[in-house]
Amino acid sequence: MSRSFYAAASLAALLTVGASPALALAMTITPNYDHPTAKVKVNGSGFGAHATIDIYFDVTDQLVVTADANGNFAKHTIRVPADALPGEHWITASERDNGQGVQKLFTASTDWTEFGFDARNRRNNPWENVVSTGNVGTLDVMWSRKTGGSIGSSPAVVNGIAYVGSGDDNLYAFDVATGAVLWSVPTGGSVRSSPAIAAGIAYFGSDDGMVYAVDATTGASKWTFSVGQLIDSSPAVANGIVYIGSTSGTLLALDATTGAPVWGAPTGSAIEASPAVTDGTAYAVSDNGAIHAFDAVTGTQLWSNSTGQSNNSSPTVSGGSVWVVSSTFNNPYILNRYRAADGDIESSANLGGAGGFETVDPTPAAANGIVYVSISGQIMALRPNGANLTTLWTANLDSDAIPTAPALANGVVYVGSGVNGDFFGLDATTGNTLWSGLTDGTFNSSSAAVSNGAVFVGGDKRLFAFALNGGDNAVYKRKHTQPPSFSRLHPNFHLKPVR
């Protein structure tokens, strides 16, 4: 879906389509752009006194409300169906007695906003509903576009634009539908930091020691903040604050609007991985083998604990636990599960393998109580079992190294190879390989993002977009839809009116 499509959707959402304009019917929906299963608030005016009004999502009657004596109905909530495909949909309020109504455009999207999908770093898109275990085998290259350097950054995909950093010192923005370069922002160093997109702004770090905030649509600068040392860490954005680590050994919290420092918390060693933020706590791991928890508002340290070895894994927060993978050169990988509230180790597992340069990012992914970790030519699925971790399956892939953090979406685990440029889609339940593709055929350390039925991953000097049948599939062609005719809307008489 192109940027122009989303712009048109936003404009159309402001327009009211009524069966009878003379009635001055009006309806407001909030928001008009969100993911499947999201809640949408609906209110309206101009209907008949005490009228019964059906609220439809597309052609499905979801809610029946009753207008007051002035023909108004207050805010009520409907839920976007889980199977609502990415693209344009219509919400209709129709008066049952006379069929008069008003319609508003709603856009469904499954954006991947930052390295960890969201600030909790679970690397799982729970709303993906296009690519599944049943059709992932038909993924093919939709487009690939060159950058001037190797891509160690992982992409973010928001509002029809894919963002990724490059070793040629630039952050790039690509049109999702065509792969065209929309803009690029030069920095003074390699951009290995994965961008985070929030409230129309793209945030990222650079090896020049600067944190950048640019307009997500145009690339125009909003602000910069100098850290003084190179930044590999990917930012996490939550509640109007940008959290990012640096090799200076400080976790920074910056005001998302101005870039002004809110607080800085020392960790004693470099922070190369992305922090995680949830429930008022910011978590960060440092190279000295420690994990830290800070109050997300004040920066006060809440607890700290050892991982036993060096860290290049981002913390993953899921189910009240914080998961971290650690290793030192030629030593086995260790997966630790910490209690999020106080940092006590709940369970630990020796994953084997041999740490070192070969695995660039063993950040775990988590979904449905299962944690997925890629190490040394393998990917493993583990489930907590009291103080133990039970291995559900292990998949051996045809490479000597798997440097990318896994990405989860709709029952599929995506993981890349660091030697051959191989890229795999595995069944999240069994570990069976469902699909494999190629990137540049060389060393690859970019982890994937899955959004709106497409899989985005960086190769050596290219960003790749994979889609069903290479994008030649009807699900990708929902650029514009017409509102359903009122004759197609049939009331559900089993629904009871809500006053």
Q: Is 26 helix (H, G, I), strand (E, B) or coil?
A: strand
Q: How far is CA 348 from CA 138, 194, 360, 381, in A?
A: 38, 28, 21, 14
Top-confidence residue, 360 or 424: 424
Residue 116: is its pLDDT beyond 90? yes
Reported pTM: 0.92
Q: Average the pLDDT over 106-132 and give the result.
A: 97
> What pLDDT, on the 0 to 100 scale, is given for residue 13?
39
Average pLDDT of the chain, as a whole number: 90
Residues with Cβ within 8 Å of residue 239, at least 6 apart in sequence: 296
- Residues 405 and 362 sit within 8 Å (Cβ to Cβ): yes
> What pLDDT, on the 0 to 100 scale, is given for residue 474?
85
**End-to-end distance of the chain based on CA atoms, in angstroms?**
39
> What pLDDT, on the 0 to 100 scale, is given for residue 353?
76
Please state, in angstroms and rounded to a whole number, the distance separating the CA atoms of residues 270 and 276: 16
Q: Following DSSP, what letter does each residue of 460-488 receive, concatenated? A: SSEEEEEEEGGG-SGGG--S--PPPPGGG
Top-confidence residue, 52 or 326: 52
Residue 397: is its pLDDT beyond 90? no
Q: Which residue has the tokens 């971790």?
A: 389
Residue 1: is its pLDDT beyond 70? no
Domain boundaries, the chain: 3-109+483-488, 124-460
> What pLDDT, on the 0 to 100 scale, is given for residue 241?
98
Structure token pair of residue 84 = 């609502």
> What pLDDT, on the 0 to 100 scale, is given for residue 177?
94
Top-confidence residue, 17 or 336: 336
Nearest to 371 by CA among 329, 418, 313, 286: 313
- Write out the CATH class of domain 124-460: mainly beta
- With cut-offs at 50, 70 and 90, classify the pLDDT of residue 15: very low
List 92's β-bridge partners, or say none: 56, 103
- With cut-offs at 50, 70 and 90, classify the pLDDT of residue 18: very low
Indicate if the alpha-carbon torsion angle 338, 382, 417, 185 is positive or negative: negative
Q: Average the pLDDT over 435-464 and give the result.
A: 87
Residue 17: is its pLDDT beyond 60? no
Please state, in angstroms and rounded to a whole number, the distance separating the CA atoms of residues 22 and 128: 41
Just give the CATH number of 3-109+483-488. 2.60.40.230
- With cut-offs at 50, 70 and 90, classify the pLDDT of residue 477: confident
Residue 2: is its pLDDT beyond 80? no
Q: Average the pLDDT over 444-455 and give the result.
A: 91
Residue 480: is its pLDDT beyond 90? no
> What pLDDT, on the 0 to 100 scale, is given for residue 377?
81
Q: What angle do CA 414, 420, 425 make, to 5 degrees?
A: 15
C-alpha of 487 from chain center: 38
- With cut-offs at 50, 70 and 90, classify the pLDDT of residue 309: confident
Instruction: Look at 290-294, 303-307, 374-378, 485-489 and tell me which has the smallest mean pLDDT.
Output: 374-378
> What pLDDT, on the 0 to 100 scale, is given for residue 492?
96
Q: How far is CA 28 from CA 96, 354, 366, 406, in A?
A: 19, 57, 36, 40
Q: Where are the beta strands (DSSP E) in 81-166?
A: 87-95, 101-108, 124-125, 139-146, 156-158, 161-165
Residue 134: is its pLDDT beyond 80? yes
Convert the pLDDT of each residue in 398-446 to its tens digit. 666 666 899 999 999 999 876 677 889 999 999 999 999 888 766 567 8
